[in-house]
Chains A and B, each alone.
Chain A
Amino acid sequence: GDSVTQMEGPVTLSEEAFLTINCTYTATGYPSLFWYVQYPGEGLQLLLKATKADDKGSNKGFEATYRKETTSFHLEKGSVQVSDSAVYFCALSYSGNTPLVFGKGTRLSVIA
């Protein structure tokens, strides 16, 4: 079945450091790919998405490119802030009323 694998955390970075969170997927079809962020005690918020190969999703300084050849969707940010501390989930889905398939999440802590 379909699955998402993302790098184990936690990741601890200093403010203004470069962030990369790796995500790879296994899929039988051509899914859309997502990054969600979860702040403590809250639900999930969509951070960015890409619906087809070579698409780049971007939001709030984060970006990720849908790489079909490497089945990857790595999340990057050039300069993290303390407020970026959260858990980040990579996910995939197909069209129609199918649920999201999530990776295990990566906890990011940014220290001043």
Chain B
Amino acid sequence: GAVVSQHPSWVICKSGTSVKIECRSLDFQATTMFWYRQFPKQSLMLMATSNEGSKATYEQGVEKDKFLINHASLTLSTLTVTSAHPEDSSFYICSARHGDRAVGYTFGSGTRLTVV
């Protein structure tokens, strides 16, 4: 149990286009999801906290107009990278916290975005 499905696992897009990444909690309701970005050989940087039915809370330095987060239901949160540029190329990972404290956090498998 407590599976988070993230799609796509990888995507290549042209500069200037937008890319949507989906995260679904398959067997539990995730009122809160977290979006992270990971550069090669570096740690995970928290981008934003996504709460179902309300606006996401972005970390300092993260452009909310560029990284649009929507959490319209208890099982789905999306991250849209708008007008992507090569510097947006990165590994994006979502995470949800299960209501059962014993389960804790569950991570998606990540999305490798390459902007050419």
Contacts and interface: CB of A to CB of B under 8 A. Distances in A.
Contacts of B108: 43
Interface in B80-107: 93, 95, 97, 101, 104-105, 107
Contact of B93 (A32, A34, A44, A103): A44
A41 B109 CA distance: 8
Q: How large is the interface on B (under 10, 10 to 19, 20 to 34, 35 or more residues)?
A: 20 to 34
Contacts of B112: 41
Nearest to A42: B109
A100 interface: yes
B110 A43 contact: yes
Contacts of B93: 43-44
A66 interface: no
14 contacts: A36-B107, A41-B112, A42-B109, A44-B44, A44-B93, A44-B107, A46-B104, A89-B43, A89-B44, A95-B101, A97-B49, A99-B49, A105-B43, A107-B41
B107 A43 contact: yes
A93 to B, nearest CB: 7
A74 interface: no
Interface of B: 6, 31-32, 34, 41-44, 46, 49, 51, 93, 95, 97, 101, 104-105, 107-110, 112
A99 B6 contact: no
Given A36-B107, A95-B101, 6 more contacts: A32-B104, A43-B107, A43-B109, A43-B110, A49-B104, A89-B43
A103 B31 CA distance: 25
A67 interface: no
A36 B44 CA distance: 12
Contacts of B43: 89, 102-105
A76 B50 CA distance: 34
A97 B97 contact: yes
